[in-house]
Amino acid sequence: KKSIFSGMQATGTLQIGNYLGALKNWVQLEDEYECFYCVVDMHSITVRQDPAELRKKARALLTLYIAAGLNPDKNCIYYQSHVSAHAELSWILNCYTYMGELNRMTQFKDKAAKHSENINAGLYTYPVLMAADILLFQSDLVPVGSDQKQHLEITRDIAERFNGIYGDVFTIPEPYIGKTGARIMSLQEPTKKMSKSDENVNASIYLTDDPDTIIRKFKRAVTDSDNEIRYSREDKPGISNLIDIYGAATGKSVAEIEKEFNGIGYGDFKLAVGESVVSMLKPIQDRFDELSKDKAYIDGIIKQNAEKANYYANKTLRKVQKKVGFPERI
Ligand code: TYM
């Protein structure tokens, strides 16, 4: 069976971009692949976190993976910090990554600009830890939103470099970017991607938003001054983003949507988009509330899946340690 790895940061509350760009696709792959989905809490501390909050958010995220439809018997759902091989492989790969490569990472540049008071080494080597995540599980596919493409490219470069020296150690992973929802934009500044760390709460629809909030945020979404529901990322970024969201939520194509709303005003269109998102999120929210009450069940998943992840990760790690010349364990 081929394998899949992906992960999300446990910072902030997930927004619909995380769901439509990644999580929703994960749910569709569980039968065909051996899947590993990680809560990347080690990546989260590249930005200062409140410890109690981080713990709470990590657990909520893990619960949300299941609430969104990932079957924990078929998918290995676990915390990155529970599998020390992530850190160990990351160190080794640091020694096979050039500073020049890391200097080119746009996410680092963006984050460094945003957190200029704390440009730490972890933020800089973040993509190497991500490469370790993916390569540990010999992943064939990595389902992500399009903003992670550059990180996938550096992962492939590191893996190819390592394989070039030591033979076929790592599977070279491919990104899996969905046709719809790969890049959901901010509702307030539709030329910027929707992000869970956006300070303007009206810019994002969070997975925890109630129906009234969702409808209100869509009503306030920034659009344009003409009156035509037509897809054009360049001329009409706001309307195009709403078409993307509606399409991803309902499975309808752009052409179908343009036809459906031909001659209809922005107000009604926004309401329809809002309602489609409400019905998409409702079952997830209900399941999340239910699961959150069942402490023993979630604890069981955390324990079992960490064991499984450790088993697979250590297999790759031992192989790598041997290749680079670390002494054998006696
Ligand atoms: P993170 O936590 O920022 O985002 C999680 C996933 O959501 C996608 N995403 C979006 N998709 C569409 N539109 C948006 N506006 C949007 N915003 C976010 C992201 O592309 C991602 O798939 N570095 C990663 C976490 C990570 C990882 C990994 C991912 C760590 N190790 C290994 C894959 C494999 C990140 O910060 O994602």
- According to the model, what pLDDT value does residue 12 have? 79
- C-beta 237 within 6 A of ligand 1: no
- The rounded distance, in Å, linking the Cα atoms of 59 and 173 is 28
Run of H or E residues at 44: helix 41-44
133 lines ligand 1 (CB under 6 A): yes
Q: Would residue 236 show up in a list of annotated catalytic residues for this protein? A: no
2 noted as active-site residue: no
Is the complex ipTM more than 0.85?
yes
Any atom of ligand 1 within 6 Å of the Cβ of 173: no
Q: Which of 160, 7, 139 is nearest to 70 (CA)?
A: 7
Architecture of the CATH domain 201-289: Orthogonal Bundle (1.10)
Q: Which CATH number fits domain 3-177+295-324: 3.40.190.10, 3.40.50.620, 3.30.1060.10, 1.10.1330.10?
A: 3.40.50.620
Ligand 1 midpoint to CA 313 (Å) = 21
Cβ proximity of 38 and 7 under 8 Å: yes
Cβ contact 13:150 at 8 Å: no
Sheet holding 141-143, edge to edge: 75-79, 34-39, 3-8, 141-143, 174-176
Q: In what helix (H) or strand (E) does residue 75 lie, and over which residues does it extend?
A: strand 75-79
> Which is the catalytic residue, given 24, 57, 193, 217?
193
Which residue ranges make up the annotated binding site for ATP? 9-11, 17-18, 145-147, 184, 193-197
Pocket of ligand 1 contains residue 147 by CB under 6 Å? yes
Ligand 1 atom with the shortest distance to the CA of 11: 2
* CATH 3.40.50.620 placement within the chain: 3-177+295-324
Active site residue 111: yes
From-to residues of CATH 1.10.240.10 in the chain: 201-289
* Ligand 1 contact via 108 beta carbon (within 6 Å): no
- Ligand 1 in reach of 148 Cβ (< 6 A): yes
Binding-site residue numbers are 9-11, 17-18, 133, 145-147, 184, 193-197
Q: What is the DSSP letter of 330?
A: -
Nearest CA, atom 34, ligand 1: 6
Tell me, using a 6 A CB cutoff, whether residue 194 lines ligand 1.
yes
What is the 7 CA–ligand 1 centroid distance (Å)? 7
Residue numbers of the chain with a pLDDT score lower than 50: none
pTM: 0.96
What is the Å distance from ligand 1's center to 224 Cα? Answer: 29
Which atom of ligand 1 approaches the CA of 8 most closely? 2
- 266 is written with which tokens? 């922005």
Residues 6+ apart with CB under 8 A from 53: none
**pLDDT tens readout for residues 9-58:** 988 789 999 999 999 999 999 889 999 999 999 999 999 999 999 999 99
Please name the helix (run of DSSP H) or strand (run of DSSP E) that holds residue 305, with its range, or none: helix 295-324
What's the gap in Å between 210 CA and the centre of ligand 1? 23
Residue 212 DSSP one-character state: H
Within 10 A of 168 (CB to CB), how many other CB atoms are there?
A: 8
